[in-house]
Amino acid sequence: MTSPTPAPRGGVARVCRYLYRVPLLLVHILVFLPLILIGMLRPWGELRVGEATFGAKVVNWWQGGLMWIFGFRLVQIGRPLPGAVLFVANHVSWVDICILHSQRMMGFVAKREIASWPLVGWLAARGQTIFHQRGNTESLGGVMQVMADRLREGKAVGVFPEGRTRGGHEVGPFHARIFQAAVETGVPVQPVALVYGVRGDAQTIVAFGPGESFFANFLRLLGEPARRAEVHFLAPIGAQDLEGRRRIAETSRARIVAAMSTG
């Protein structure tokens, strides 16, 4: 089920938001982004800052700043697990990746088209993203191998098991195969619920509308009013706690849906 692309509202207020957000965005990209990239370089990028590296921390800060410029007021509920974890989340928009990266460094599995998106694609390529050609079985096999290798190295991987966005109306079925990497490596799966607005009333606003391009969605969201964005890190599921990847997928989805209905 989809809905028409939400029409931009509040003409004067929207123009005012563009007037201060566009300059902030340019400064964030042209001034702070180069500094972030330097901060990710060796040796200082690998220095430990608590449970994360300095390089990961500066990525968290930059992505959080980007979301603040877009008007998202982030609220973390629960805590992300440290170390090797398979994070699985509901998929609403390109914003999801930025918000999750503001909370925890992880390499995402994402469709190959994202690599060509302005700014976001460039950042994704430098954020350990694993690109997948949808509908290509051979590509998926390679992705699964890279995921398992990353997890064995002690790194975190993030996936959207729905496989695509759905207009923000519902959480689709979770594809069980993507959970195989966690089963093979024995790492925990942590479901993450992304809730936009009050009790999810802004899911359809944040989501892509039918036929809406990345650039159109980017510009529309840049002019939207400030709103709450909740990141619920839910109870993890041990790879051996349930029988098989399908049961893990079903349980992960159920926990996310429950969190969205009570958030």
- Residue 182 falls inside a structural domain: yes
- Residue 42 falls inside a structural domain: no
- Residue 19 falls inside a structural domain: no
- Residue 57 falls inside a structural domain: no
Q: What pLDDT was estimated at residue 189?
A: 97
Query: Which residues constitute the domain of residue 196?
Result: 71-262
Q: What pLDDT was estimated at residue 186?
A: 94
Q: What pLDDT was estimated at residue 60?
A: 92
Instruction: Kindly tell me the burial class for residue 91, based on how many C-beta atoms sit within 10 Å of its own C-beta (0-12, 13-18, 19 or more).
Output: buried
- Residue 31 falls inside a structural domain: no
Least confident stretch, 91-95, 139-143, 259-263: 139-143
| DSSP H/E element including 190 | strand 189-196
Confidence of residue 167 (pLDDT cuts 50, 70, 90): confident
Question: How confident is the model over 125-148, as a mean pLDDT?
Answer: 75
Confidence of residue 7 (pLDDT cuts 50, 70, 90): low
State phi, psi for 239 to the nearest 5 degrees.
Answer: -60, -25
- Residue 214 falls inside a structural domain: yes
Question: How confident is the model over 222-244, as a mean pLDDT?
Answer: 92
Question: How confident is the model over 181-206, as a mean pLDDT?
Answer: 95
Q: What pLDDT was estimated at residue 2?
A: 42
Contact 85, 187 (CB under 8 A): yes
- Residue 65 falls inside a structural domain: no
| DSSP H/E element including 256 | helix 244-262
Confidence of residue 219 (pLDDT cuts 50, 70, 90): very high
| Number of folded domains that form the chain | 1
- Residue 235 falls inside a structural domain: yes
Task: CATH number of the domain at 99, please.
Answer: 3.40.1010.10
pLDDT tens-place string over residues 79-116: 999 999 999 999 999 999 999 999 999 998 877 777 77
Distances from the Cα of 20 to the Cαs of 23, 201, 205, 213, 246, in angstroms?
6, 26, 21, 24, 47
